[in-house]
Amino acid sequence: MIRTIPVHIDRFTLLSTGHVNAVDVWTELPDGRRQPTGAQATDDETGDLLWTVDCLAADQDRGEVVSVQVRARHMPVLEKFAPVTFRDLEVRVSKGRDGNVRLYWSASGAEPARAGMTPRPTPGSDQAKAA
């Protein structure tokens, strides 16, 4: 069963790794293998290019990297280790081809966090203990 869950970005902090990559269009070969075509994927509704923004989930006891797929006419430019604001962030929960549960993150856009916005303190940090 596939579920899509909206995510409220004000509940946890995602930090940009500074890595943004074009999403490849893939084709399936007759033997069942998949390979990239060399073309960049586009959003079906808007025609905008699709990009993958790699982020660190900073509110975890242990850092976790998540890749958020966003649509934009141009590659988003995000500062390394700076908070990111995503519009319409959601996560789709699904089974992968290998049968394991996968999380697929997506958003309608990405930009540096607003000036003056402070990320939530990480649980266990000195900031969290002071709060």
Between CA 21 and CA 120 the distance in angstroms is 27
User: Cα–Cα–Cα angle for 9, 46, 10, nearest 5°?
Assistant: 5
Give the pLDDT score at 61.
Answer: 73
Give the pLDDT score at 96.
Answer: 81
Give the pLDDT score at 130.
Answer: 43
Position of tokens 């709060």? 131
Give the pLDDT score at 115.
Answer: 45
Give the pLDDT score at 2.
Answer: 66
Give the pLDDT score at 60.
Answer: 64
Give the pLDDT score at 98.
Answer: 87
Looking at 13-17, 38-42, 57-61, 98-102, which range is the least confident one?
Answer: 57-61
Per-residue pLDDT tens over the stretch 44-93: 999 999 999 999 987 667 778 899 999 999 999 999 999 998 999 999 99
User: Percentage of the chain with pLDDT > 70?
Assistant: 82
Give the pLDDT score at 86.
Answer: 92
Per-residue pLDDT tens over the stretch 95-126: 887 889 888 999 999 988 754 443 334 344 44
